[in-house]
């Protein structure tokens, strides 16, 4: 057991499964947790990242040092509570400086049971993740500065990892609900959709609120169903289109129940289908492709993606540790987008039906509006199916 007694003693530590140890200053909740460690290169949006259900089972290292400087605003939550297991930052969070701030980051993390650790060499840590892959870690915060390092290493090594893990069931909604709130717009803020043209069923594998807002802004009356919804439950709502949301974990594990539902929708109807992130991977699996674990994944709001059909390059937000193996896409399914960082698959579509998906997050608006056309494409497909002119 390690005990620090001087007044500048560290109050938190990060332990990698290989025994690498980082000491720092803790903030937020006390205690300890284990998870996979990833890094995110976004310069803004730390609250969106921490409340994105796709980060379940992960501690996030922020490469941008100024984390906490805009505080916390309830409007920016992507779900009711933070989902990421913890955060690692270079500098201790500062007092917020934003007219929108309602709470500081440290208090918010403490009230929601999430651990933060500052004073870490995040550049060194990021290099290690790039070179070795996303490690399993234990993170601990104790104001007394007392840590059982051997036990923390053992906990990190015992962490099962995300491969084979179905986390969608843990972050999905408990029961169905409707959504009509549209995207934020000045000066009204979020207003309700009152003139919806399309009925959409959104299957919630860990849906972000802003995705649902984008659907509403595109003219959709949205009914959200749990991840375990069956084909019959989806079609019982008589939708004009089906949306497959983002989410965490291993797509192959979630696919055990989601793929049969998607296949049923595709086999029994001609409905437009649109998927994002895990929804993209679920659709790929349903069409016969395979997914693989990435070395360190894609996490950031500055990822260039090329649309192979138009030649356009979009600046996108990404958050995924698994990817669709483009070499396994079957006949009748076309790769539409690729990452300009590593050439990995970022989009697909069926060649004869309005069924398409992307790996990135078009609702996150880092471009800021580079990818919103995808929601409009989904709406246009539903409108065409209904026999109306666009």
Positions marked catalytic: 277, 361, 363
Count CB atoms within 10 A of the CB of residue 158. Answer: 11
Which positions ≥6 away from 291 have C-beta within 8 Å?
250, 251, 252, 281, 284, 285, 322, 323, 324, 325
| Separation of alpha carbons 220 and 102, rounded Å | 31
- C-alpha 266: how far from its chain's center? 25
Q: Is residue 238 helix, strand or coil?
A: coil
What are phi and psi for residue 32, nearest 5 degrees? -150, 155
Count CB atoms within 10 A of the CB of residue 160. Answer: 11
**Residue carrying structure tokens 């993170």:** 139
* Bridge-based pairing state of the strands 220-226 and 198-204: parallel
Among residues 237, 251, 235, 243, the alpha carbon closest in space to that of 216 is found at 243
Burial of residue 191 (CB within 10 Å: 0-12, 13-18, 19+) is middle
Q: Give buried/exposed letters for 42-68 (b at 16+ CB in 10 A, else e).
A: bbebbbbbbbbbbbbbbbbbbbbeebb
Question: Residue 7 has which token pair?
Answer: 């007044």
277 neighbors 320 (Cβ within 8 angstroms): yes
Among residues 364, 369, 387, the alpha carbon closest in space to that of 42 is found at 364
Question: Residue 149 has which token pair?
Answer: 């390092």
| Separation of alpha carbons 201 and 289, rounded Å | 24
Rg (CA), the chain: 21
Among residues 267, 253, 280, the alpha carbon closest in space to that of 337 is found at 280
């Amino acid at each position: 057991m390690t005990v620090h007694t001087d007044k500048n003693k560290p109050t938190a530590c990060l332990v990698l499964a290989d025994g690498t140890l980082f000491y720092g200053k803790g903030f937020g909740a006390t205690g300890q947790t284990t998870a996979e460690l990833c890094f995110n290169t976004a310069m803004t949006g730390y609250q969106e990242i921490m409340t994105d259900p796709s980060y379940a089972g992960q501690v996030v290292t922020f490469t941008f040092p100024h984390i906490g400087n805009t505080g916390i605003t309830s409007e920016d939550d992507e779900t009711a509570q933070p989902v990421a297991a913890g955060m690692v930052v270079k500098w201790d969070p500062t007092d917020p400086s934003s007219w929108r701030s309602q709470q500081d980051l440290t208090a918010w993390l403490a009230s929601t049971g999430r651990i933060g650790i500052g004073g870490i060499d995040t550049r060194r840590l990021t290099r290690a993740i790039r070179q070795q892959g996303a490690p399993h870690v234990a993170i601990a915060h104790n104001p007394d500065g007392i840590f059982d390092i051997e036990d923390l290493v053992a906990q990190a090594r015992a962490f099962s990892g995300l491969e084979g893990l179905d986390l969608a069931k843990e972050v999905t909604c408990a029961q169905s609900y409707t959504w009509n709130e549209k995207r934020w717009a000045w000066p009204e803020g979020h207003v309700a959709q009152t003139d919806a043209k399309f009925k959409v069923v959104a299957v919630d594998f860990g849906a972000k609120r802003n995705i649902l807002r984008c659907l509403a802004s595109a003219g959709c009356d949205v009914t959200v169903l749990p991840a375990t919804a069956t084909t019959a439950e989806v079609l019982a709502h008589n939708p004009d289109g089906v949306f497959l949301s983002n989410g965490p974990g291993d797509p192959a594990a979630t696919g055990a129940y989601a793929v049969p539902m998607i296949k049923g929708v595709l086999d029994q109807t001609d409905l437009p289908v649109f998927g994002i992130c895990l929804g993209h991977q679920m659709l790929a699996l349903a069409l016969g492709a395979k997914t693989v674990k990435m070395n360190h994944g894609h996490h950031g709001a500055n990822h260039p993606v090329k649309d192979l059909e138009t030649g356009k390059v979009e600046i996108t937000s990404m958050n995924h540790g698994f990817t669709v193996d483009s070499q396994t896409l079957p006949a009748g399914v076309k790769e539409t987008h690729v990452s300009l960082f590593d050439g990995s698959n970022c989009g697909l579509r069926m060649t004869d039906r309005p069924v398409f998906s992307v790996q990135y997050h078009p609702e996150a608006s880092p471009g800021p509006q580079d990818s919103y056309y995808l929601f409009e494409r989904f709406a246009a497909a539903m409108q065409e199916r209904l026999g109306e002119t666009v």
